[in-house]
Amino acid sequence: MSVKNDAMKLRESFEQAASIYQQARPDYPDSLFDDLIHAANLNPGDRLLEVGCATGKATLPLAKRGFKITCIELGAELAAVARQNLAGMDVDVINGNFEDWQPETENGFDLVYAATAWKWMDPEVRYRKAWQLLRPGGYLAFWNADHVFPDGGDPFFREIQTVYYELGEGKSVDDNDWPRPGELSEQRDEMERSGLFEVVHLRYFDWERIYDAEAYVKLLETFSGHILMEGWKRDKLFNEIRIRLNRRPEKSVRRHWGAVLQVARRIKSNATDITVSV
């Protein structure tokens, strides 16, 4: 299978977690949305396009702030759950592929954004597509919720690697696989190399959540690598996680999250003449 097909298989896997995604995945910090609104010069009533909304984790906070949002979600089940979660809000959830989707009107969006979804979009298409969908001077923003490992953080994640290694699924010892807060990768060069955007804002966010054994297993069930893991491997891993966490006095694990909010402004360019490479 090609690398591109592998990526699409991972991208499509989240559909299998539609029923638990909203509850299991962490909320993003309110300060992130406040910072986004300020950096992108947004005002209530502005039109936003969200790429890969899943069940609406990043949609609802912005809809509550008075924005009109169109969401493009590849998974039919995810889109259906998002519509339920966003009922009564000024949000339109469309089941489709971002790279192929065309708006019904020519009016450009004020912001195109993606929350833990931009990396799944075709790198040969995504910047040019966002440029085409934005109004002149509009903004592109994206961020991921990633696992970070602060000094003095919970040792559980390194300890459980012995089980992952036994299953042939372990992390490398490379520090890039164990980023500290503030060490997550940025796409500034990638955005500016496209020739379509000028980066105007980057900011790191960190937060922590505590999970009991069942909540942590539920979280892992929403990650593509675990969704697509062979059933016997997944069962063995989850059973070992339950045993180890329930042995602890607190019967829980502390997981640190990090995100890099990256905001760029659309610049004048002939996007049809530009081949985007990353």
Domains of the chain: 3-149+178-208+256-269 (3.40.50.150)
**Is the model's pTM score more than 0.75?**
yes
Q: State how far the Cα of 265 lies from the Cα of 199, in Å rounded to an integer.
A: 6
pLDDT surpasses 80 at 238? yes
Q: Sign of dihedral through CA atoms 224, 230, 236, 239? A: positive
- pLDDT, one tens digit per residue, over 171-199 is 766 656 899 999 999 999 999 999 999 99
pLDDT at 277 over 50: no
Question: Which ranges of the chain does DSSP label H, i.e. alpha helix?
Answer: 3-13, 21-24, 30-39, 59-64, 76-85, 126-133, 156-159, 161-166, 188-193, 213-220, 224-227, 231-247
Contact 103, 133 (CB under 8 A): yes
Residue of 1 and 221 predicted with greater confidence: 221
| Confidence bin at 105 (pLDDT 50/70/90) | confident
Query: Could you give the CA distance from residue 230 to residue 95 in angstroms, rounded to a whole number?
Result: 28
Under the banding of pLDDT at 50, 70 and 90, the label for residue 4 is low
Q: Give the confidence band of 240 by pLDDT, cuts at 50, 70, 90.
A: very high
